[in-house]
Amino acid sequence: MKPERSAPRWSAIAFLILVSLIAATFLYSPGTEDIRTWYYWMDEISYYGLVDGFAQGGGRFPHDYPPLAYVFLAGVVPVATALGVSKFVVLKCFLLVFLFATSACFYWFTRNLILTAALEFSLALSSVMLGYLDIWFAPFLIAGLFCLQRGHLKCGIVLFTISCFIKWQPLMIAPFICIYVWSAVQNVPSWRHKLRMQVMPFAVAALVVAVPLVAIFGTAVIQSLQRAMSHHYLSGLALNFAWLHTWGLHLLQSQKYGSLVDGQIDLILTGNTLVTLPERVLFYASYALVLTAFLRRPKTFERLIGYAILGYLCYFIFNAGVHENHLFLAVCLAWIMVFLNSAYRLQAINLSLMGNINPVLFYGFFGTGLRFSRVIAGIDVTILFSVLNLCLFAGLLLHTFKADHIGLKFWQLNKPSPQDAANEIPTVV
């Protein structure tokens, strides 16, 4: 996709500068309550050291983040000490720098100032204003995906693996990426040589990233992943199916789960697998459906991004234990999709709004919480947003399947269209 010709280049530059200034203006916004968690982890690192601090598991604030997030946090304290400023300022500066790095990375591959500004604006709230750490994996994820598009499979998988060791959420799209990379090796005369070339990107990523990190941090890496996969929240403030389920339990089983608080839905913690069974079934079924559909279609890069978005939305919409900031990755993918196909511009705007309004409804724009009640006419508006999110997901799923000519017998592979052949992934020979 080329830059918009209707907008002069200086206007696009001004737009990007304006977005950057807005992000920098809110450097001192207090952020969400998660900031306290980052402080506690940094204190553990200062007291025990990086490796032993990670092995502590977070103490009063159990960590479910991969080790590279701890590596970045470990850099905050010495920088703050050297500059004579607070850890808060350095942490927020780190987030701001990574926001700019994400924009620079996106522009490097797209050369589109308008889309770069749109991406940066969509990520500014979650990163600089509210203080979530997702922005740390964004440049690695974006660079890795564009490297895959250009046929640099080893570099792409290494960068993607780095993003997974900063936060676990990118693992949700790993099956789509594995299928794409596996299909990229074609026209190789020997099946042994082909197999070696297919395995090589993953072997390099394991040797360069995964194995050294596991060797350094030990079994604590696995324990961190287990904690990330076993949250006892029915919904961790994510506006999804589980949030509607939470509402229903407050109404129908208030003696067990508590009533609505001034009409507002509150978190429910439960270790009962039967309670979360509907979420698990819907998540696994929908994710398997999307993954199978992708597996049976020609593997273009545009299709990779589109189906990765759908697969990730299956996780956000239906899984239990999802948090309010977990749409961050989908927003990154959405603007890559717009670069590939401008017809998806409205879908990207919708996903960006979904990803930003979710934390705002609970923490406001600065992390200090809303200054007014969420209840309007006796209804918590988060219910309406949850229903809308489900509808938007269903609409995107149906639109993608219709555009891809996927019917009820989607497992039967159709012959690729001429357009598919033209957009086929760069093959490695």
Q: CA 252 to CA 263: how far, in whole Å? A: 14
Q: CA 142 to CA 172: how far, in whole Å? A: 15
Return the half-sphere exposure (C-beta side, CA atoms, 13 A cut-off) of residue 219. 0
Can you give the pTM of this predicted structure?
A: 0.92
Q: CA 50 to CA 47: how far, in whole Å? A: 9
Cβ-in-10-Å burial (0-12, 13-18, 19+) of 263 comes to middle
User: Whose CA is closest to 44, among 77, 19, 88?
Assistant: 77
- CA 381 to each of CA 58, 93, 376: distance values in angstroms, whole numbers, following the listed order: 34, 34, 7
Cβ atoms < 10 Å from Cβ of 186: 13
List per-residue pLDDT tens for the chain, 429 residues long: 444 445 568 888 999 999 999 999 999 999 999 999 999 999 999 999 999 999 987 677 778 899 999 999 999 999 999 999 999 999 999 999 999 999 999 999 999 999 999 999 999 999 999 999 999 999 999 999 999 999 999 999 999 999 999 999 999 999 999 999 999 887 777 778 778 888 999 999 999 999 999 999 999 999 999 999 988 899 999 999 999 999 999 999 999 999 999 999 999 999 889 999 999 999 999 999 999 999 999 999 999 999 999 999 999 999 999 999 999 999 999 999 999 999 999 999 999 999 999 999 999 999 988 878 899 999 999 999 999 999 999 999 999 999 998 875 654 545 555 555 555 555 554
